[in-house]
Amino acid sequence: MNFLQALFKVNKKPKVSVYLSNRRRINLSSQILLLGIIIWVCQGGKAIADNGPFSSCPAPAYLSQGTTNSTIKLYSVDLFSGGLSAISASDIPGGINGIGFNQLDGYIYGMKSGTNNIVTRLDKTGVATDLGSIAGLPPGNYNVGDVDSNGVLYVSAGGGTIYGIDITPTSPNYRKVIKTITNVVSGIQDFAFHPTNGKLYTIRQSDGRIYEISWSSGANVTATNNDRGIPTALSTGSAYGGVFFAIDGSFYGYRNGTNGSNDGRIYRITNVAGTGLPIATLITSSARGVSQNDGARCALAPPIYPPNTVDYGDALDTDDDTGTDNYRTKALDNGPGHEIIAGLRIGTNIDGDSGSLQNTPATDDDNNGSPDDEDGIASFPTLYTNAGTSYSVSVNVTNTTGNNAYLVGYIDFNKDGDFDDANEKSTTVTVSNNPTANQSVVFTTPAGMNAGNTYARFRLSSTQAQAESSVGIATSGEVEDYQIAIAGYDYGDAPSSYGDASHDNPATPTVYLGSIKPDKELSTQLGTDSGAAAAGDDNNGTPDDEDAFTALANVPIVGNYSLNVPVHNTSSNPATLHAWIDFDKDGQFESGEYQNATVANNSTSASLNWTVPIGTLPGSTHVRFRLTSDNTLIDNIGTSNIDERSIGNASNGEVEDYPVSISVPIYDYGDAPDTGTGTGAGNYQTTASDGGAAQVKINTAGLVLSLGSNIDTDDGTLQNAAANADDINGTPNDEDGVASFPALTTTANQTYTVPVTVQNNVPSANAYLVGYIDFNKDGDFLDAGEKSATVTIPTNSTNPRTFNVTFITPAGMTTGNTYARFRLGQVKATAESATGASISTDNGEIEDYQIAIVSPISPLAGQLVINEVFYAQTGTSADENDEFIELFNSSNNTIDISGFKLIDGNLLVSAITYPNALDSTAGSITGNQSPYVFPHGTSLQPGEYAVIWIGDETADHDATGATFQAWLGRMPKLNNIGDDIWLYDANTRIIDYMAYGTGADINIRPDSSLGFWDSTYENNLGGAASGQSISLTPNGMDGNTSACWEKRRSL
């Protein structure tokens, strides 16, 4: 522990402020001692009391001022008003003179007053610390001084010789004279370094003449004193003990003295480093006159003006460098400022500001204070990346000063944060004295521009040289900054024969295809990759913006082709999606190959559907999509070989071209009846030409995705009333996903569940199963409740599997035939549509079925049964009315059968047509299409029978033991080789049902959907010699399989 630590017993790590030459201050942690607010450091063997540096490049000027060496204090001075504020709390011991502000560390350095060679440093509170004597510096009264940008203190005793002193503690030359400059103009009281050119400027006391002092490199050099003349209006005859610079090159002189009427004045002098006579302007005569006075200021600080008398720009300025989105705008960065005068402005309004306003949209000046003055440019023409074009901006200007003014525009074409590159400054416009008028500011666009936001600046001044610089102070006029967009083009990239399509592409597009904003190309992309792959735009720039599709599904040679196109529209206006498929492969897009869709604001997809022209042949071709809100795209109906909407420029949006293959279909379609275009009762969208549902059949070895066990493909033309055209056409018979349907009755709000057999072993790929039933029989599946809940079918190596497809039945159903469709696919959205073809690898299958909507089932089902049916007379003794139907009460209750109905042919449910049905005489047992109705008052006790005799005779036969018998007396009989028998109650609810057939197979299978039968049946009921019947076994025991029936001989 050293003696300071022992003394204060404290060890902390405060932050030390370090100043850099670019005026950025960084904070470092250093192991130093802290007690209260006094930091003690050891520097050059001296303990220094330090309250810290001034803020980074402060705006005020500073004066060491007093009447004698012992009464000097440090003051800050407002260069506008001349007002002083004491920095030092008390007189500086021994005084200080020849001061300067060190930009590197934020302290003021000077020489101790009197004849000596001691350097003194002042902190932010005016506390002085003597750093010690300077080796090589002769003793003298060094009343003139400043610090250059390298941290070297230059001092002089009124001129003649200047000494440069190293004041950097870490330098090996610390507190040594490192430069001696002789032959310096004499009779001077202060000098200051220019902020950019490294030269000293001073005002000679005797005559007010300004000198520019420069020298060559080396340790001992001779000064060059450039006489800049005596500015008009600058008072002479007294000392200018304080001189200061601002970052814009403005030079300030503080005249001290106590005797003359001109003492205590502050002047602002411009053009000190230029050509011609400097110009002096009296700022204030209210400053204090004193006998001893010396000045210091950060030369990179902004100029001082009265509040709201200077208008600055407001382009983005994030620090004191330049770079992308970082301009010289603020006063502290020598940004453009204009002293406001009457009669000279851009636009209608002008206001002053502090020089600190800037933001990304370059609207901070407009939004701050009033009036809103950034009004000189109503709008900018679209600026494109094309090089060598003339770009003109109309600027509203007023000049009533009586003299010419000068208007210059600047655009940062390469977006590097300055306006200094080739072509970034417009030609100068001379604005004569006249009322308000629009002026054209013209640029020639350079090569190499990139699309995106950039900035423009416009300066109006009475001084041409000031207008022709993008930075610095101008003594008149106004500046306006704007953020503008450089727009590129998005081009198509199909082969050249298709013609060029281009879209203006602003920096922030709101209308485009896919999810990636379009990139910008400098020239056409047609055929740049030989065209076939249509990848020129894809391969040009990043990101790859051709992202609406990775690849397009093959176009079939017949039927429809549908696409859901991902789009983006946040323009607040509707846009139009234009699209063409070159079906005839002639290398041009024609109007017959065109489809479009309206894309509302905030839409994310649009649907397109083409009907493939008849005669389309397989092969490779191209597709073009154009999305834009530009409604000037119009086809010239006078031309037939090209649709002009497919070429030319659109004012916004995007174009994407794709290759596509036209191929032979690989689809499975449905087969519900489709008798013509559109829909209606018994007329569905089934075929390819009518937009029917279709799924790509999976074509990968070992993989299966199907309804049931089998799947085939077809050309999209199969349909019939039985919805079995696909099943009976080709092999295998593939409509096997639904073994049987549960009874579908007219009851509303019932949960109707269809078991569907499915196979899916596609790795890591779910499939989706959706069912559709046309409950109201209007020819579509679009009404409420007609689409089932979506069933997810996960992949599994065990197949087939059964899944339940569930509906909630709607109200208003009527009995009769209708149709069901089941769709299995890998894209959920496609499976959930009853029409349209899947695309690409969206594999699956479609199956359509005819099903019956029947009356509700009676509560007597299973209690009153069809017990025996004698359907064939084969013996020689058979009579005309030997056939009969026998009913049996198998319950324990009396059943009143009054009004019950018995019929064959299923006429009460609109004549269901079965495959291979041979009963062409529906309703034959009554001779017409009406059922037999049991008379009022007819009842069956438990175990009793009722027999209905069929034939044209009456009471010819008698059934012993039957409680009730009836003879129909009509010739039509049951069909010998197949029929179906129905028994309904008085409310037309089904009680029982059976179907039969003879020969090798039953021709009419019992309908298991009614719940009375399963899918089994007896294959052979033939063999009786003189007649046969079938009956329940045992007697009266109702059952739902054909095994419950047996063959019998009768008569």
CA–CA distance, 571 with 599 (Å, rounded to integer) = 11
- Sequence-distant (6+) residues with CB within 8 A of 98 are 110, 111, 142, 143, 144, 145, 155, 156, 294
Candidate ranges 252-256, 586-590, 726-730; pick with highest mean pLDDT: 586-590
Identify the pLDDT of residue 537: 44
CATH of the domain at 84: 2.120.10
Identify the pLDDT of residue 665: 67
935 three-state secondary structure: coil
Asked if 980 and 994 touch (Cβ cutoff 8 Å), the reply is yes
- The DSSP symbol for 342 reads T
717 and 810 together in one domain? yes
Instruction: Flag whether 1014 is in a domain.
Output: yes
Termini Cα distance of the chain: 134
Task: Look at residue 962 and tell me whether its pLDDT is greater than 70.
Answer: yes
Identify the pLDDT of residue 1023: 41
φ/ψ (deg, to 5) at 327: -110, 165
Contacts 24+ apart (CB under 8 A), 384-387: 384/445, 384/486, 384/487, 384/488, 384/489, 384/504, 385/449, 385/450, 385/451, 385/486, 385/487, 385/488, 385/489, 385/520, 385/522, 386/445, 386/522, 387/445, 387/446, 387/447, 387/448, 387/449
Task: Look at residue 400 and tell me whether its pLDDT is greater than 90.
Answer: yes
CATH of the domain at 885: 2.60.40.1260
CATH of the domain at 645: 2.60.40.10
Across 859-887, average pLDDT: 74
536 and 424 together in one domain? no
Task: Look at residue 252 and tell me whether its pLDDT is greater than 50.
Answer: yes
Across 58-72, average pLDDT: 87
- The total number of structural domains in the chain stands at 5
Identify the pLDDT of residue 557: 84
More confident residue, 533 or 332: 332
Token pair, residue 408, equals 């210059």
Task: Look at residue 377 and tell me whether its pLDDT is greater than 90.
Answer: yes
Instruction: Give me the percent of the chain exceeding a pLDDT of 90.
Output: 53
Identify the pLDDT of residue 322: 86
Identify the pLDDT of residue 874: 54
More confident residue, 482 or 528: 482
Instruction: Give me the percent of the chain exceeding a pLDDT of 70.
Output: 82
Instruction: Tell me the pLDDT band of 380, cut-offs 50, 70 and 90.
Output: very high
Identify the pLDDT of residue 369: 66
Identify the pLDDT of residue 126: 94
503 and 363 together in one domain? no
Alpha helices for 348-480 (secondary structure H): 364-367, 464-467
Choosing from 469, 487, 505, the residue where a domain stops is 487
Instruction: Tell me the pLDDT band of 905, cut-offs 50, 70 and 90.
Output: low
Pick the range with the lowest mean pLDDT from 383-392, 584-593, 712-721, 1023-1032: 1023-1032
Task: Look at residue 530 and tell me whether its pLDDT is greater than 60.
Answer: no
Average pLDDT of the chain, as a whole number:
83
Across 448-470, average pLDDT: 93
Task: Look at residue 1015 and tell me whether its pLDDT is greater than 80.
Answer: no
Choosing from 487, 520, 544, the residue where a domain stops is 487
pLDDT digits (tens, 9 = 90+) for 832-851: 999 998 876 789 999 999 99
State the burial class of residue 1003 (Cβ atoms within 10 Å of its Cβ: 0-12, 13-18, 19+).
buried
CA distances from 15 to 29, 31, 401 (A): 5, 9, 54
805 and 715 together in one domain? yes
Identify the pLDDT of residue 881: 54
461 and 535 together in one domain? no
CA angle 465, 346, 247 (to 5 degrees): 45
Q: How many residues are recorded in the chain?
A: 1051
pLDDT digits (tens, 9 = 90+) for 554-575: 888 877 788 889 999 999 999 9
Instruction: Flag whether 786 is in a domain.
Output: yes
Task: Look at residue 473 and tell me whether its pLDDT is greater than 70.
Answer: yes
Instruction: Flag whether 689 is in a domain.
Output: no
pLDDT digits (tens, 9 = 90+) for 491-518: 888 898 999 898 888 778 899 999 998 8
333 and 392 together in one domain? yes
Instruction: Flag whether 132 is in a domain.
Output: yes
Identify the pLDDT of residue 522: 53
Instruction: Flag whether 1038 is in a domain.
Output: yes
pLDDT digits (tens, 9 = 90+) for 579-626: 999 999 999 999 999 999 999 999 999 999 898 898 899 999 999 999
Smallest CA-to-CA distance from 278 within 344, 230, 214 is with 230
Instruction: Flag whether 668 is in a domain.
Output: no
359 and 450 together in one domain? yes
Across 109-117, average pLDDT: 88
Task: Look at residue 1000 and tell me whether its pLDDT is greater than 80.
Answer: no
Identify the pLDDT of residue 7: 30
235 and 314 together in one domain? no
Pick the range with the lowest mean pLDDT from 227-241, 576-590, 927-941, 1014-1028: 1014-1028
Amino acid type, 23: R
828 three-state secondary structure: helix
850 and 871 together in one domain? no
Instruction: Tell me the pLDDT band of 290, cut-offs 50, 70 and 90.
Output: confident
649 and 767 together in one domain? no
Task: Look at residue 872 and tell me whether its pLDDT is greater than 90.
Answer: no
Identify the pLDDT of residue 151: 96
30: domain range? 15-296
Identify the pLDDT of residue 1003: 36
pLDDT digits (tens, 9 = 90+) for 796-836: 989 999 999 999 999 999 988 999 999 999 999 999 999 99
Choosing from 228, 261, 296, the residue where a domain stops is 296
Smallest CA-to-CA distance from 250 within 226, 290, 225, 280 is with 280
Identify the pLDDT of residue 654: 93
Across 934-950, average pLDDT: 93
Identify the pLDDT of residue 536: 44
Smallest CA-to-CA distance from 961 within 849, 865, 886 is with 886
40 three-state secondary structure: strand
Task: Look at residue 706 and tell me whether its pLDDT is greater than 80.
Answer: yes
Task: Look at residue 521 and tell me whether its pLDDT is greater than 60.
Answer: yes
φ/ψ (deg, to 5) at 281: -130, 125
pLDDT digits (tens, 9 = 90+) for 324-374: 889 999 887 889 999 999 999 999 999 888 888 999 999 987 777 667 778
Identify the pLDDT of residue 156: 97
1023 and 910 together in one domain? yes
Instruction: Flag whether 304 is in a domain.
Output: no
Across 1003-1027, average pLDDT: 44
pLDDT digits (tens, 9 = 90+) for 669-688: 999 999 988 899 999 999 98
Instruction: Flag whether 558 is in a domain.
Output: yes
483 and 503 together in one domain? no
5 three-state secondary structure: helix
Identify the pLDDT of residue 923: 52
Phi-psi region of 109 (alpha: psi -120 to 50; beta: other; left: phi over 0): beta
Instruction: Report the DSSP pairing between strands 648-650 and 108-112.
Output: unpaired
pLDDT digits (tens, 9 = 90+) for 409-450: 999 999 999 999 999 999 999 999 988 899 999 999 999 888
Pick the range with the lowest mean pLDDT from 503-507, 542-546, 858-862: 542-546
Smallest CA-to-CA distance from 446 within 490, 502, 486, 394 is with 486
Task: Look at residue 10 and tell me whether its pLDDT is greater than 70.
Answer: no
